């Protein structure tokens, strides 16, 4: 029998309680667990068979290849890639939004000239993907994929449509809060991050095991963009700001001007 939202919510509460108890005795080594989700997070059922049970092996080698990273340049993106509302002949349906922010490393240094990729559902909560078969309409004028390179201050900027919530099959009546997927590179392969940006005030937050897998409330809040009225454009779009901080080893080195 499929699990109910009550079952999942109970598991989410248990995990949050366990995390709070662990926090009380936290050593420096567990600090990362407060920022990133555990890989074995049972309320998210797909994680059960897909998380390693052996501890990760720590590599402390400042010369490691993983401390440099792939390079992207203007040949990897086009001007139109960052405006998801102009990739087709007509205007997509929904609430047009501007999403902007800065990519920084842990020392607050801007991450320049790096690739930011996004993908998302349309305004009705449907992905343009063959395996998304729930009965919400596709939008012939919206693909939901964008790319850009960060500028000299580490800034990125996309014009898109606010995505809708959509059902998924984790448990009965499971609905994901609206979100935009982000794929980010830093200056090191070890800084690689895939994450999701959420919208402020979404009533689905407490019910979503993927968002709640981040058990530290402050860390979870860092996944939520801020509505910024100054960013909204008259008769045109609503503005959201979301800054991203890439993790990575302390030895990660940023080349000037890159």
Partner 1 sequence: MHPTPSQTVGPFYGYALPFPQGGQIAPAGHDGALTVHGHVRDGAGEPVPDALLEIWQPAPDGSRAGAPGSLRRDGLTFTGFGRVSTGPDGRYVLRTLPPGGVPYLSVCVFARGLLHHLFTRVYLPDADLDSDALLAALESDRRSTLIAEPTAEHVYRFDIHLQGEKETVFLDFR
- As annotated, the active-site residues are 127, 166, 176, 179, 181
Rounded Cα gap, residues 15 and 5, in angstroms: 15
Quote the tokens at residue 129: 């993907």
Asked if 246 touches partner 1 (CB under 8 A), the answer is yes
Asked if 14 touches partner 1 (CB under 8 A), the answer is no
Q: Which of 1, 89, 108, 135 binds partner 1 (CB under 8 A)?
A: 108
Residues 142-171 that bind partner 1 (CB under 8 A): 143-145, 147, 168
User: Please, what sign has the CA dihedral across residues 238, 182, 43, 2?
Assistant: positive
* Residues sharing a CB contact under 8 Å with residue 76, sequence separation 6 or more, in sequence order: 115, 147, 149
CB atoms within 10 A of CB 218: 9
132 or 151, CB closer to partner 1? 132
Stretch that binds partner 1, among 32-40, 84-92, 157-165, 233-241 (CB under 8 A): 32-40
Question: How many positions of this chain bind partner 1 (CB under 8 A)?
Answer: 82
Let me know: does 64 contact 253? Beta carbons within 8 Å: no
140 or 233, CB closer to partner 1? 140
Rounded Cα gap, residues 231 and 239, in angstroms: 4
Asked if 134 touches partner 1 (CB under 8 A), the answer is no
* Residues sharing a CB contact under 8 Å with residue 223, sequence separation 6 or more, in sequence order: 195, 196, 197, 198, 211, 214
Asked if 223 touches partner 1 (CB under 8 A), the answer is yes
Asked if 219 touches partner 1 (CB under 8 A), the answer is yes
> Minimum distance between the CB of residue 143 and partner 1, rounded to whole angstroms?
8
Q: Which of 42, 64, 231, 238 binds partner 1 (CB under 8 A)?
A: 64
Asked if 181 touches partner 1 (CB under 8 A), the answer is yes
Asked if 12 touches partner 1 (CB under 8 A), the answer is no
Q: Which of 2, 13, 26, 71 binds partner 1 (CB under 8 A)?
A: 71
Q: Which of 42, 87, 106, 175 binds partner 1 (CB under 8 A)?
A: 106
72 or 227, CB closer to partner 1? 72
* Residues sharing a CB contact under 8 Å with residue 169, sequence separation 6 or more, in sequence order: none
User: What Å distances lie between residue 169 and 47, 66, 175, CA to CA?
Assistant: 13, 36, 9
């Amino acid at each position: 029998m499929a699990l109910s939202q009550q079952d999942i919510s109970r598991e989410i509460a248990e995990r949050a309680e366990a995390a709070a108890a662990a926090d009380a005795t936290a050593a420096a080594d567990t600090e990362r667990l407060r920022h990133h989700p555990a890989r074995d997070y049972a309320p998210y059922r797909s994680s059960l068979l897909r998380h390693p049970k052996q501890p990760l092996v720590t590599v402390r080698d400042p010369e490691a290849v993983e401390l440099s990273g792939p390079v992207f340049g203007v040949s990897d993106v086009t001007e139109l890639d960052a405006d998801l509302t102009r990739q087709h002949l007509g205007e997509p349906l929904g609430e047009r939004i501007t999403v902007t922010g800065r990519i920084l490393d842990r020392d607050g240094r801007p991450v320049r000239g790096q690739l930011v990729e996004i993908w998302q559902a349309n305004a009705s909560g449907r992905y343009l993907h063959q395996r998304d078969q729930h009965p919400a309409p596709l939008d012939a004028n919206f693909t939901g994929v964008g790319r850009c390179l960060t500028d000299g201050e580490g800034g990125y900027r996309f014009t898109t449509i606010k995505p809708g919530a959509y059902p998924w099959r984790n448990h009965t009546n499971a609905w994901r809060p609206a979100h935009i997927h982000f794929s980010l590179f830093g200056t090191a392969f070890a800084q690689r991050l895939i994450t999701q940006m959420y919208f402020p005030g979404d009533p689905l937050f407490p019910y979503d095991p993927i968002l709640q897998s981040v058990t530290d409330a402050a860390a979870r809040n860092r996944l939520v963009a801020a509505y910024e009225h100054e960013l909204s454009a008259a008769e045109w779009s609503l503005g959201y700001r979301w800054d991203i901080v890439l993790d990575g080893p302390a030895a990660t080195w940023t080349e000037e001007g890159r």
